[in-house]
Amino acid sequence: MHIVLGGTGRVGSATARALLKRGEPVTAITRDAAHGADLKEAGARIAVVDIRDVTGLRDVFRTGTHAFLLNPSAAPSGDTDTEERANVAAIVEALNGSGLQKVVAASTYGARSGERCGDLTVLHEFEEKLRSQPVPAAINRGAYYMSNWLGMLDSVREHGTLPSFFPSDFALPMVAPQDLGEAAASRLLEPANETALRYVEGPDRYTPRDVADAFSEAFGMTVKVETIPREAWEKTFLQLGFSIAATESYVCMTGTVIDDEAALPEQPERGPTTLRDFIRGIVETGG
C-alpha cells in the first residue's frame, strides 16, 4: 500500500492517480473527505487526518509500505515559515515507528539552508530531517509549478493582463503537476536504496511572456505581461493579504529564484507536458 500525503492537492492527486494507473493500491490522506471523492471513485482509499496529528498520521503510515510526502503550503495570511516548519516536524515525527520501507518527498529547486526564505529554506530543512531518520528517503526537487500561474486567471480573463513578479523575458524552469506525480510514482516503485537527489522539470524553460502567450492561445484573446518591479514586491504582497512575515519570506524566495541561476541543475529529469498543453487543458476543463 502506498500512502500519499496531501493526496487531494494537484501534485498529491497526480501521484495517487499515477500509482493507480500502474495497478498499485493507494491511500490518499486529506483533511476533508469530500475532497477525496474523485480519487475514491478511481479506486483509492481515503484517510482523513490532520497533518499535525502525529499519532493519527503514524497510524495511517502503518497501513502502508511506501509513502509520498508533501508539505502543504500554509495560508499566506499567517506566518507561513513557522506553520510549514511545524508541519515538517510533525511529518518526520510520525515516521518514527511507522514501519514504512521507503518515502519519496517533494522538495523544490534552489532548496538551501537558512531562515525566512519560504519553500527554499523550509523544504531544505525537510530534506535534512528526512535524511537524519532511518526510513530510506528519496527527494525529488521540482521546478516552479505551472499551476502557480492559475492564481492569475481572474486578471487574465477580466483585464487581459498577466501580473508577474518575474521579468517578462526571464526563463524559468517549470513543471506540470501531473509530471511531478509520474516522477514520484516511479520513485516509489524503485528499490528502497534508490535515494539519490533528483530534479524534475518540464520539456523546456519558459518566460512569463510564454505564459501570457499560452493564455492568449487558450482564451483566444490578447494577454500581456504586467511585470511588478522589485521595489513594489513588498507592497504588492501586503495588498494581496499576505502577513508581514509571509511577505518577508516570499520576497526573499522570489528574489533568490531570479538572482541565483547557479541553483539550476544541468541534467534534470524532464516530464513531457508543455506549458501550452497544461494551460490549454486547464482552460478546456475549467480546472
What share of residues in the chain are helix, strand, coil (percent, to 5)?
50, 20, 35
> How sure is the predictor about 287, in pLDDT bands with cuts at 50, 70 and 90?
low
Residues above pLDDT 90, as percent of the chain: 84
Amino acid (one-letter) located at 40: K
- Greatest Cα pair distance, the chain, in angstroms, is 55
Nearest CA to 47 out of 7, 91, 94, 88 is that of: 7
**DSSP 8-state class, residue 166:** S
Instruction: Kindly give the interhelix angle for 275-285 and 208-219, rounded to the nearest 10 degrees.
Output: 40
What burial class does residue 88 get, using C-beta atoms within 10 Å of its C-beta: 0-12 exposed, 13-18 middle, 19+ buried? Answer: buried
- As a whole number of angstroms, the distance between CA 188 and CA 182 comes to 10
Phi, psi for 116 (deg, rounded to 5): 55, 50
At 239, the pLDDT band (50, 70, 90 cuts) reads: very high
**Averaged pLDDT, 143-167:** 93
Distance of alpha carbon 53 from alpha carbon 30, whole angstroms:
12
Pairing between β-strand 198-201 and β-strand 269-270 as defined by DSSP bridges: parallel
Model confidence pLDDT, tens digit, residues 262-278: 678 888 999 999 999 99
Integer angstrom CA distances of residue 114 from 76, 110, 244, 253: 19, 12, 18, 11
For residue 108, pLDDT beyond 80: yes
Distance CA 252, CA 19 (A): 35
Question: What pLDDT score does 39 carry?
Answer: 84
Nearest alpha-carbon partner for 60 in 36, 94, 90: 94
Q: Could you tell me which of 17, 188, 205, 211 has the C-alpha nearest to residue 106?
A: 188
Burial class (CB in 10 A: 0-12, 13-18, 19+), 169: exposed
Neighbours of 26 (CB within 10 A): 26
What fold characterizes domain 2-144+177-201?
Rossmann fold (3.40.50)
Place of cell 518575474: 166
- Give the whole-angstrom CA distance, residue 237 versus residue 219: 27
Euclidean distance between CA atoms 79 and 207, whole angstroms: 30
So what's the pLDDT on residue 285? 80
pLDDT at 272: 97
Is pLDDT at 245 greater than 90 in this prediction? yes
Q: What is the DSSP letter of 272?
A: S
Percent of the chain beyond pLDDT 70? Answer: 99
What pLDDT is recorded for position 112?
Answer: 92
pLDDT of residue 42: 86
Looking at every residue in the chain, the average pLDDT score rounds to 93
Q: Over 80: is that where the pLDDT of 126 sits?
A: yes
40-63 pLDDT, tens digit per residue, is 888 899 999 999 999 999 999 999
- pLDDT, tens digit, 9 for 90 and up, residues 166-216: 999 999 999 999 999 999 999 999 999 999 999 999 999 999 999 999 999
Fill in the amino acid letter for 128: E
- pLDDT value of position 41: 84
* CA separation for the pair 161, 16 (Å, rounded): 34
Confidence (pLDDT) at 262: 65
